[in-house]
Structure 1
Amino acid sequence: MRVYLPCTLPALARVATVGELGPAPLTGYAVTPALIEWYVSGDTEELEYVALTEAARASLRMLAADRTDGVEAPARRVVIAADVPDGDVSAGVDLEERARVRLAVAVPLDRIAAVHVDDESATGDVEAALAALPAADLGDDDAKFVLDGAEANELLWYATQEIPDLVG
């Protein structure tokens, strides 16, 4: 099963160093039965894009948490796409996040299919989204609009061989 795992550049550097994303359990996003039922008209590619987008939103929150903890993290969202055995994944029934899944084990580097990362040109939009996140969580429509501005930036695709260049 293809799973999209939110990440940050510092966390991706750890993956490159230790050879896995972990420790488990991990929260990810995938094409779940609940997502398929909700998005009836979508094909597999569209559903995977929804899961990727949900993971990018979670990456923004991870980035905010890193910064709160004093971690110097560039304002770029990161999503790891991994192919994992179905038995390692369990889907919830959260109606707000239909694509959310839990992984019971760490994800080894050889299961990572690709990495999706914001282009450096998205940094301003991501910084603005980070600043707007608390107000958006309280329901502020203007702040939600700022979050949408970050989501308007498409994540770029990188092969696993390019991870050292991304984190170097």
Structure 2
Amino acid sequence: MRVYLPCTLPALAAAVEAGELGPVPLTGYAVTPALIEWYASGDSEELEYVALTEAARASLRMLAAGRADGVAAASRRVVVVAEVPDRSAAAGADLEERARVRLAEPIPLAKVAAVHVDDLYAVSDVEAAIAALPAADEGDDDARFTVDGAEAHELMWYATQEIPDLLDS
């Protein structure tokens, strides 16, 4: 099963150092039966994109939580794509997040297929979205528009061998 894991650049660096993504449980996003049922008209590529988008939203929240805890991180959403055995991912029952899965085992970096990261052009919009998240969660339409502005940026694709260069930039 292909799983999209929300991450940040500091967390990715820590995973590279540790040789695995963890600690568990990990939250990821995948093409689950609930997502397939809900998005009945979508093909597999569209469903994968939905899972990637959900992981990017979770990455934005990770950035915001890190900021609240005083963690300095570049305002770039990160999604790690990994191949895991189906038995490793348990789908949740949350109807709001049909693609969410929980992973009970760390993911070795050897199982990572790629990394998606915001381009540097997206940094200002991601920064604004981080600041707007609390108001967006309270229902503020202008703040929601700001958050959507970050989501309008496509994440760039990086091969696993490019991760060290990505972390050095």
Shorter-normalised TM-score: what interval? over 0.9
Coordinate RMSD, CA, aligned: 0.5
Partner of 1:99: 99
Identity rate, percent: 76
Report the Cα distance in structure 1 between the residues aligned to 2:66 and 2:132, rounded to whole angstroms.
Answer: 16
1:1-168 to structure 2, matched below 5 A, reads: 1-168=1-168
**C-alpha distance after superposition, 1:70-97 (max 9, x if no partner):** 1110000000000000111000111100
Partner amino acid, structure 2, of 1:103 = L
Larger mean CA deviation between 111-120 and 15-24 belongs to 15-24
**What is the CA-CA distance between 1:51 and the residue it aligns to?**
0.2
Structure 1: which 5+ residue stretches go unaligned? none
Normalised by the length of structure 2, the TM-score is: 0.98
Report the Cα distance in structure 2 between the residues aligned to 1:97 and 1:40, rounded to whole angstroms.
Answer: 16
Report the Cα distance in structure 2 between the residues aligned to 1:157 and 1:14, rounded to whole angstroms.
Answer: 20
Normalised by the length of structure 1, the TM-score is: 0.99
Partner amino acid, structure 2, of 1:129 = A
**What is the CA-CA distance between 1:67 and the residue it aligns to?**
1.2
SS at structure 1 position matched to 2:67:
helix
Report the Cα distance in structure 2 between the residues aligned to 1:142 and 1:71, rounded to whole angstroms.
Answer: 26
Structure 2: which 5+ residue stretches go unaligned? none
Report the Cα distance in structure 1 between the residues aligned to 2:78 and 2:10, rounded to whole angstroms.
Answer: 10
Partner amino acid, structure 2, of 1:101 = V
Runs of 4+ in structure 1 deviating by more than 2 angstroms, as ranges, are: none
How many pairs does the alignment contain?
168
